[in-house]
Amino acid sequence: MSLLEISSFAAGQWVAPGAGARNIASAITGEVIASAGNDALDVRGMLDYARTVGGANLRKLTFHDRARMLKALAGHLNQHKQALYDLSFDTGATQSDHMIDIDGGIGTMFVFASKGRREMPDAHVYLDGDVEQLSRNGTFLGQHICTPLRGVAVHINAFNFPVWGMLEKLAPTLLAGVPAIVKPATNSCYVTELAVKLMLDSGILPEGALQLVSGGLGDMLDHLTMQDVVSFTGSANTALKLRANPVILENSVRFVAEQDSLNASILGPDAQPGTPEFDLFVKEVSREMTTKAGQKCTAIRRIIAPQAQVDAVIEALSARLAKTQIGDPRLETTRMGALVSNSQKRDVLEKAAIIGQEAERVFGDPNNFSVDGADAEKGAFVPPMLFHCADPDNASRVHDTEAFGPVSTIMGYRDLDHAIDLANRGQGSLVASVITHDPAVARDVAIGAGAYHGRLYFNNRDSMKESTGHGSPLPHMVHGGPGRAGGGEEMGGVRGVKHYMQRTAIQGSPDILSAIGEKWVPGGTEIEGPAHPFTRKFGELSIGETLHTAPRTVTLEDIETFAHFTGDTFYAHMDDDAAKRNPFFPGRVAHGYLLLSFAAGMFVQPDEGPVLANTGLDNLRFMKPVSAGDSIKVRLTVKKKTPRNEEYGEVRWHVTLTNQDDEIAAEYELLTMNAY
């Protein structure tokens, strides 16, 4: 087998390994398979190239343009994932592990592409929150906006997920409009390099959007500015060293960290042996111990069970772990492969020995286990190891030492408060799980442990068929945690995109805010169109285009007809004396939904035209009651336009109902699909 030369992609050029290159060994055989690293990389040039070329190109695109770009990239990777599978076996990962890393990373990119199209505007400015009225008459307003940082995101990733670890950071970064320099862990960088090559060769990315460092970063962090971001995944010690960089501190460079985590799983007091929850708990723990050979930042390190159930859990979990076939990950029969390297194997065994000072190993002997299809001594193989800590209150190593492999410790609790305390002893984790069928248990844990954990995962017989698992960070949800877990956040939908943007408070008149946000703000200039807006195509409508209707008088007959026709005979509409006893009403009043129906009839244009469908109604508020004899009129304004596909776009209309005294009776936003 020829030695792979893992290159870097710097300032538009591939750079082969050079001075300072490091050898990379197969996790299966221990033989050298590749080399990576080049101390001569022009890191200043890379940063400048990203800022001046990549950033400028990305910022020309709207959020929707960038979302479509992500979707195309994910589709391209999906077509070539077999090549990534084939290469990834040498990291020790099984085919099932590939599904988590490679398919999971691609799926994450698809989700961010979808969220970009659905939850972000087809614009260059993201509006964060509602308009704030800062003056009595509404002529001076406030709004928060987010715009892309003018720097570069430096992504420093861990060895365990060479594809997912890159894509879960890259997707929100590119969606924000910020270029990235990706630095994967050297032990598995050959898989990341192939994924980067696939994306670059696709021609989908604009020039400068993505660069790759295979090997060390050199002094790159010494040249960062306040517009740059460092996003790190790895050990707490490395994170502390990087955070302490004087340039990062002096320039207040954003530093997002996801690091060591002593994640816990609690077996609820209601989950007795024989219940679906008990069996689920054992299955979840076993899976988290053996998937990726336990090399997951979200793996279960501490198993917390009622004291009376500890022996039963040890027995059931040991029986399940005993069925785990360890071997060459390329074999279909293998259920757990190797650690990423023999260096990692030594580290795991050292950490397991430290845990063993306070806990008894009750399953798994690193000196006596079988490996199918490979040499246990030459490869980075270890067996699953289960420890039992009989006195977790007086122990410390089980709460602060992470063996980053298939190692976990079980401990008993007296009551739920004790279980919560033990879970929190980890001083911050990425995830804690609770297996219970009792909602009260879930609530108590959420209140008592929420502050210590980035994610709380609850599962039971009702949700187990569709749940994604304790150890699966999802792009929709926040991934990160306080304290020991790093204090950072990744993913979480649009929240993750904002990490690469600056939130700015803007203040001004309604017209100023409308122009900046490309969204009409009440009080802004109204535009009179040449014809009824419902007769005009999506592209013909202008933001601020407004229709004012003639008034309509609401009669008592209208109210009674609506009540009997719909069945809504609520007393406020039918009993004058009862309505007057209500402090909100002067007497009998019109139904709110009667007013909405009248409004639709007042502004609608009935003929066939470009309006294809009414798809929703948002932010409805009834602000002043309307009595029989009052009249209402409607103002209909184009508030926002969002392209959806090649055939139609979404128009968001601001609708205001006022009475004869120009007081607002109701207000809402109407959504329609309009043809181009």
CB environment 329-363: b (16+ within 10 A), e (fewer)? bbbeebbbbbbbbbebbebbbebbeebbebbebbb
Residue 484, class by beta-carbon neighbours within 10 Å (0-12 exposed, 13-18 middle, 19+ buried)?
buried
Catalytic residue (one of 297, 402, 489, 490): 297
Distance CA 297, CA 272 (A): 29
Residue that is written with structure tokens 């050979």 in the block: 293
> How many Cα atoms occupy the beta-carbon half-sphere of 241 within 13 Å?
6
Phi/psi-derived region of residue 206, left when phi > 0, alpha when psi is between -120 and 50, beta in every other case? beta
DSSP 576-601: HHHHHTSTT-SSS---HHHHHHHHHH
Name residue 5's beta-bridge partners: 35
Nearest residue to 509 (alpha-carbon basis) of 134, 45, 225 = 134
- Both tokens of 44, joined, read 């200043």
CA distance 310 to 390: 10
* CB 12, CB 35: distance < 8 Å: no
The values of phi and psi at residue 581, to 5°, are -75, -10
8 A C-beta contact, residue 242 and residue 248? yes
- For 617, other C-beta atoms within 10 Å of its C-beta total 13
Tokens of 583: 């402090």
Catalytic entry in 168, 189, 193, 258 = 258
Q: How far apart are CA 363 and CA 367, in angstroms?
A: 12
Handedness of CA 410, 411, 417, 421 (dihedral sign): negative
What SS3 class is residue 265? strand
Tracing tokens 């993201």 back to the chain, one arrives at 126
| Cα separation values, 434 from 258, 392, 393, 584, Å | 22, 18, 20, 46
Pairing assessment for the beta strands 664-675 and 385-389 based on DSSP bridges: unpaired
- Print burial letters for 647-663: b (CB count within 10 Å at least 16), e (below 16): ebbbbbbbbbbbbeeee
297 belongs to the catalytic site: yes
CA atoms within 13 A on the CB side of 149: 26
Residue 159: both structure tokens together? 């060895």
DSSP E strand boundaries for 307-374 = 360-363
Q: How far is CA 319 from CA 278, 329, 428, 433, 534, in A?
A: 14, 22, 31, 22, 68
Contact 187, 159 (CB under 8 A): yes
Query: How far, in Å, CA of 319 to CA of 363, rounded?
Result: 9
Please report, for residues 79, 381, 479, 657, the alpha-carbon distance to residue 406 in angstroms, rounded to integers and kept in the order given: 32, 10, 22, 64
Residues 338, 92: Cα–Cα separation, whole Å? 4
Contact present, 301 and 428 (Cβ < 8 Å): no
Q: At what angle do helices 189-201 and 164-176 cross, to 10 degrees?
A: 40
Q: Is 116 left (phi over 0), alpha (psi -120 to 50) or beta?
A: alpha
What H or E segment, with its residue span, contains residue 628? none
Residue 389 annotated to the active site: no
Q: How far apart are the C-alpha atoms of 386 and 54, rounded to whole Å?
A: 48
Residues with active-site annotation: 258, 297
